[in-house]
Structure 1
Amino acid sequence: MSARQLHLGYMYWANGTHPAGWRYPGAEHVRAFDPDYIVELARIAEAAAFDFFFFGDRLATGVEYELTNTSVIARIEPFTTASYLATKTSRIGLVVTANPTYSEPFNLARLTASLDHISHGRASWNIVTGADGRAAGNYSRDEHGDANARYDRADEFVAVVRALWDSWEDDAFIRDKESGAFVDGSKVHRLDHDGAAFQVRGPLNVARPPQGHPVILHAGTSDRSRDLGARDADVLFAAAATIEQGVAYRDDIRRRALGFGRDPDDLAVLPGLTPIVAETTERAREIYEELNALIILDDDIRFGGREPGHWAPSETIGRREDQGPGLRNLGALSQRVGYDATGHDLDDPVPASVATGFTPVGRQLVGAVERRTGRTVGGDHATTWRDLLHAHIVAGHLVVGSASDVADYIEEWFTSGASDGFNIQSAFLVEQLHAFADLVVPELRRRGLFRTEYAGTTLREHLGLARPESPWTETDIAATAARA
């Protein structure tokens, strides 16, 4: 049995993931729709032998993203862009996001199969069931539907797409000029699918994809999403906050995969990771601080119309998407840590006596500040309320440090069984992608964790996955034996 191999994907956020990354001096912020810019990023990732280049997507938008992630206010369409990128790259996998809630299986099967042909076997479909309910209004619908209904539809959707990919056998095309035989009709199969959500006759009007099935990705933590991922996905994106949570998530997914009759080793769990990397730990921390200084905060008077000092833990915050106005102040932080901080100045040190009473989430924020900045509660370099607020706003997996620091973090998650690698995201571009590719990737290779070059040409080969055999092969053998 070969040793586990670390996997790295790269997710395209045009302006980076830090909420103020686009404002950083020299950061890219105007080229989201420039194909040459996207090619530039993909080629950097490909030169570093990343497994794939990932296009996320949403089917709605809102101006509130101006304060949280400008990359999602307006996005280039994934399939069009990936098709162009396929002609400008040669090895890196290409992940496109498509939503079964607002798609049809035949269209999606045709798009993904075509992309797999255009890219010579590098296509991948990221399944999302609906991150933004506002999408319904863009698709002539009154409502988004509840999660169970969306997953019911997605389960059937994926099964139909797989059947459509398989509706042509690999050797169905004869193309014999002398005889005039072009297709073996016995190797082209109708579906005649009649299900709860879809009625699809088939077959697909595209030849079987080079990979047999393009790689399937999925993200989610709910029970239904875990089942979908364990049954149908090849790669899962997780959002565990700690190694312990990561181990528990990966173990659960592997257990479920086994229950669906799958080899758990055929499924990789890759959390998202934003590394802020520099030549030294000190410089990386300076970059983190410089980025945070550019974050636009809300004042506490906007927090529910109350004056500072009148927070109550039983009250709820008026929500807007992704920490928009009303969620970027000491009032919002108070909800997280379980202590009324609204009477403090942002630059006041956090008293150790207060921090001991924080919620588990509050204690996680204290730990995040220490890892990112080196500051500690009650230490010589004391954690401030501003530090905690920044950690609350800049949430998720973010590691700050030198190449060795970042490689340590990745290696610990990988060797502990909390992940099979990471989906890398840049706080801002293009500097931070270069920093990861030029500094961290060589360090991972020095430790024997990451490939020095691609071993194959398809995404399935990058991920160590076998090409699925046509399901008709055994059926045909059985039928021939029965007739004999």
Structure 2
Amino acid sequence: MSDARRTDQLTLVAFMQASNVSVYSGSWRYPSNTSDYLDLRYYQRIARVLEEGRFDLMFFDDRLAMPAIYGDSADEAVRYGARPIKLDLTAILGAAAAATEHLGLGATYSTTYYEPFHVARTFATLDHLSGGRAAWNVVTSVNDAEARNFGVDQHTEHDRRYDRAEEFIEVVEHLWDSWEDDAIVADRESGVFAEPDKVHELNHRGEFFSVRGPLTVPRTPQGRPVIIQAGQSGRGRDFAGKWADLIFTGDPSQAVAAEHYAQQKEIIRAAGRDGDQVKILPMVYVIVGETEAIAREKESVFLNELVHPNASLALLSEVTNHDFSGYTLDDVVTDELVDSISGIRGLVQGVKRHIGDQPLTLRVLANHRATLLQGPRFVGTGRQIADQMDDWFQSRSCDGFVVAATHFPGAFEDFTRLVVPELQSRGLMRTEYTGATLRENLGLARPANVFAERGEVVGV
């Protein structure tokens, strides 16, 4: 690798929850964490902080059920505040759009429990009303609790979910393209509003979906909203390589991140795409203080005092779709256990890379879902954290970061106040937004319209 410094800049995404907690499930107990998460002004306040910090994107994770696999009940999640609240994101994104001018706005919508037309219209509308700042995180959902909220007894098998997702996203992208950019002429004198030959039906009939189209929303400022994906399995990485503009990763260390980065870029190129047009962003926790001692004291509180063990097990059960209520925290995670649970292998492999040779117990594994052990931690002063981010970026371990908050809104306020100026002084971050849309601020090209390129398309 060349010793020359990279000439591009970090991409920064803020990891949000429309919930009683941040991605760190004990955040509601932290003394300075605010509790007005049922008020739109809460999300608007955080959005303004992120825009002041020149973040690229405010991104909301989502689930379609409470964590209710543990003991076949949501009781422990409710009792210990382990993400029992998940608000619908439509109103929140609209409020954040109204409070900001440049910040990207991303949300998670499932390809398993929604329909392509609904998702296409939701994000196309957001893209228009925000002036081109929408992003869709494509997920296939994770567990039986979500399935039961949508009239299904059991969650669909992993590869089958991705089969549906492939067709889903192809239909959505064609719906976004169903109006050509110059379809609307609005000629008052002739009375012609739009050219019918530039507004296209899909007439799609596939294995999972039948969609006629066109979409009821014209083509958007970005052409298509930005696509986010975070699949970690082999199928998930291939899916991301084919479709995603931003790929979120959960690598436990810089060495693993660098290896993942190189592999994922190859997958992107093998899919016939430009690797430089896809950003790979690991999730990290940032704990910053005016001194390193202050930051380390905060870290100790977050690691040791705020998350109940049963909350950790409830969240582990949620993500693996396996009920761990019959186990103890000191049970060792054996090969036999891994073989018996389809949703756990990738998590176990990642955690083992993180902890080295020490025995992997359920306590350790569960803590990786609920506490700061889940990803790398950058802890220290603003300068020390900027040093760590700079090192990851220059070593091509990432193209930027998904910054996970320990608490709201203080974690992002501290980052904006103490870390951002250090990154800006090194040329790693913008001092002002220069693009009109999220794609422009990310340095991503505006996609061509498939109908305009190929002529009328019948079926997808």
1:331 aligns with 2:342: no
Deviations 1:267-286 (A, max 9, x none): 00111111111011111111
Q: 1:279 to 1:36 in 2, by over 3 A?
A: same
Alignment of 1:248-267 (within 5 A): 248-267=259-278
- Cα distance, 1:327 vs. partner? 11
RMSD of the TM alignment (CA)?
Answer: 3.1
Q: 1:360 to 1:390 in 2, by over 3 A?
A: closer
1:47 aligns with 2:26: no
Separation in 2 of the partners of 1:190 and 1:44?
A: 42
Is the 2:186–2:194 Cα contact (8 Å) retained in structure 1?
A: yes
Alignment of 1:222-371 (within 5 A): 222-298=233-309, 320-321=317-318, 331=330, 335=333, 364-365=354-355
1:407 aligns with 2:386: yes
Alignment gaps of 5+ in structure 1: 304-316, 337-358, 369-385, 478-484
* SS at structure 1 position matched to 2:192: coil
Alignment of 1:61-140 (within 5 A): 61-62=66-67, 63=74, 64-65=76-77, 70=82, 72-140=83-151
Alignment of 1:375-394 (within 5 A): 393-394=371-372
Q: 1:102 to 1:279 in 2, by over 3 A?
A: same
Q: 1:136 to 1:361 in 2, by over 3 A?
A: closer
Deviations 1:245-296 (A, max 9, x none): 1122121221111112110001001111111110111111111123344235
1:451 aligns with 2:430: yes
Which amino acid letter does the alignment assign opposite residue 17 of structure 1?
A: V
Between stretches 425-434 and 390-399, larger displacement belongs to 390-399
Q: 1:35 to 1:362 in 2, by over 3 A?
A: same
Is the 1:67–1:296 Cα contact (8 Å) retained in structure 2?
A: no
Deviations 1:369-401 (A, max 9, x none): xxxxxxxxxxxxxxxxx9999789532222221
1:464 matched residue in structure 2: 443
1:4 aligns with 2:3: no
Is the 2:227–2:245 Cα contact (8 Å) retained in structure 1?
A: yes
1:36 aligns with 2:41: yes
Separation in 2 of the partners of 1:32 and 1:118?
A: 23
- Cα distance, 1:472 vs. partner? 2.9
Separation in 1 of the partners of 2:451 and 2:352?
A: 55
Alignment gaps of 5+ in structure 2: 68-73, 335-348
Of the candidates 15, 32, 51, which is equivalent to residue 26 of structure 1?
32
- Cα distance, 1:228 vs. partner? 1.1
1:421 aligns with 2:400: yes
1:199 matched residue in structure 2: 210
Give runs of ≥4 in structure 1 deviating > 2 Å.
13-21, 62-70, 290-299, 317-330, 359-368, 386-394, 471-477
- Cα distance, 1:422 vs. partner? 0.6
* SS at structure 1 position matched to 2:433: coil
1:56 aligns with 2:34: no
Is the 2:16–2:404 Cα contact (8 Å) retained in structure 1?
A: yes
- Cα distance, 1:326 vs. partner? 6.7
Separation in 2 of the partners of 1:229 and 1:389?
A: 26
Separation in 1 of the partners of 2:133 and 2:94?
A: 11
Separation in 2 of the partners of 1:329 and 1:399?
A: 31
Is the 1:10–1:54 Cα contact (8 Å) retained in structure 2?
A: yes
* SS at structure 2 position matched to 1:101: coil
Q: 1:205 to 1:17 in 2, by over 3 A?
A: closer
- Cα distance, 1:137 vs. partner? 0.6
Instruction: Give aligned pairs, total.
Output: 419
Between stretches 145-154 and 321-330, larger displacement belongs to 321-330
Deviations 1:144-175 (A, max 9, x none): 11011100000000000011111111111111
Separation in 2 of the partners of 1:397 and 1:168?
A: 43
Is the 1:365–1:388 Cα contact (8 Å) retained in structure 2?
A: no
Separation in 1 of the partners of 2:194 and 2:307?
A: 62
Between stretches 129-138 and 88-97, larger displacement belongs to 129-138
Q: 1:448 to 1:224 in 2, by over 3 A?
A: same
Is the 1:98–1:125 Cα contact (8 Å) retained in structure 2?
A: yes
Structure of higher RCO (CA pairs closer than 8 Å, 6+ residues apart) = 2
- Cα distance, 1:234 vs. partner? 0.1
Which amino acid letter does the alignment assign opposite residue 39 of structure 1?
A: Q
Q: 1:387 to 1:476 in 2, by over 3 A?
A: closer
Separation in 1 of the partners of 2:237 and 2:60?
A: 21
Deviations 1:214-262 (A, max 9, x none): 0000012111111111110100001111222112212122111111211
Which amino acid letter does the alignment assign opposite residue 8 of structure 1?
A: L
Is the 1:110–1:204 Cα contact (8 Å) retained in structure 2?
A: yes
Of the candidates 180, 186, 199, which is equivalent to residue 197 of structure 2?
186
Is the 1:297–1:329 Cα contact (8 Å) retained in structure 2?
A: no
Between stretches 38-47 and 140-149, larger displacement belongs to 140-149
Which amino acid letter does the alignment assign opposite residue 151 of structure 1?
A: Y
Larger Rg: 1
Which amino acid letter does the alignment assign opposite residue 109 of structure 1?
A: A
Q: 1:466 to 1:361 in 2, by over 3 A?
A: closer
Separation in 2 of the partners of 1:229 and 1:391?
A: 24
